[in-house]
Amino acid sequence: MQNRPLILKLLSAAIVFGAWEIAGRIPVSYAFPTFLETMEALVRMTLDGSIFQAYAETLKPLVLGVAISAFLGITLGLWIGLSSWFDWLFSPIFVVMQAAPLAALIPILVMAYGIGLTSKIFVVCIMAMPVIVLNTSSAVRNTPASMKEMAHSFLAKDRDVLLKIILPAASPIIFSGLRLGISAGFIGAILSELKITPTGVGDIITYSRSIADYPSMYAAIFSIILLAVVFLNLLEKLENYLFEGNNRGYASD
């Protein structure tokens, strides 16, 4: 049944939002609004344009940080996957970056680069790049050796092996790493606005919390989640379209 994934997603959303509404009506906390109150606040911010003004600020470090992370991450990942020396030198750095509490580095970035756009871009990069680098290097490293040996047996040059064997075979996993990196980039963008300077959506969250306008605070948080889910689903569909023969399936299916 082709519509089953969509039906299950809608059912899952209905269960979550219904539980949210019930928890807000009990209430579990005075600071926990109902789902309907949150949606009312989101509609109000949408109609007065404040949510769009906020995202105009939030998307600047997100887009720039993700673009830099994608370019550098895929490039470094290719080098690490192709060279055992690069693997030995750089892989531990990105493994530590992925495991470390990177929020602790934010004060250091502020001291080095101030409280402007540069620091926020760095936060997005340190959140997104490790995932992209490690997925890319793993994909390149695990390219079937038989395919590379076959290419060399036909006197293929190293460049041809990279462009015609390794990259096509590794592309699905590289794209998956890019999708996960963008997801981490969303977290980094909001984290930077909460920890460095309250601008964009982070400003709405901080200000709404300070005046106890909890519906607006939760509406801003919900809008972030909604935007991330929509964008990642579009990337997933693009990935399935580009690599249909390598479709591995997703938990959401």
Q: What is the mean pLDDT of the segment spanning 196-217? A: 88
Does residue 253 surpass a pLDDT of 60?
no
End-to-end alpha-carbon separation of the chain, Å?
A: 11
Residue 189: phi and psi, rounded to 5, are -65, -45
On average, the pLDDT of the chain sits at: 83
How sure is the predictor about 248, in pLDDT bands with cuts at 50, 70 and 90? very low
pLDDT score, position 33: 92
CA dihedral sign of residues 68, 82, 237, 123: negative
**Between 28 and 223, the higher pLDDT residue:** 223
What are the CA-CA distances from residue 162 to residues 74, 146, 150, 152, 247 (Å)?
Answer: 13, 14, 13, 11, 22
**Cβ contacts of 9 within 8 Å, gap of 6 or more:** 252
pLDDT, tens only, 51-107: 999 998 888 889 999 999 999 999 999 888 888 888 888 888 888 887 777 777 777
pLDDT digits (tens, 9 = 90+) for 153-172: 766 777 777 777 788 888 88
Kindly state the percentage of the chain with pLDDT values over 70: 92
| Residue entry with tokens 């249909």 | 244
Per-residue DSSP letters for 28-84? S-TT---HHHHHHHHHHHHHTTHHHHHHHHHHHHHHHHHHHHHHHHHHHHHHHHH-H
What does pTM read for this prediction? 0.78
Of residues 213, 197, 167, the one with CA closest to residue 38 = 213
Q: Which range is least confidently modeled, 1-15, 22-36, 135-149, 177-191?
A: 1-15
Domain 34-242 has CATH 2.60.120.260: no
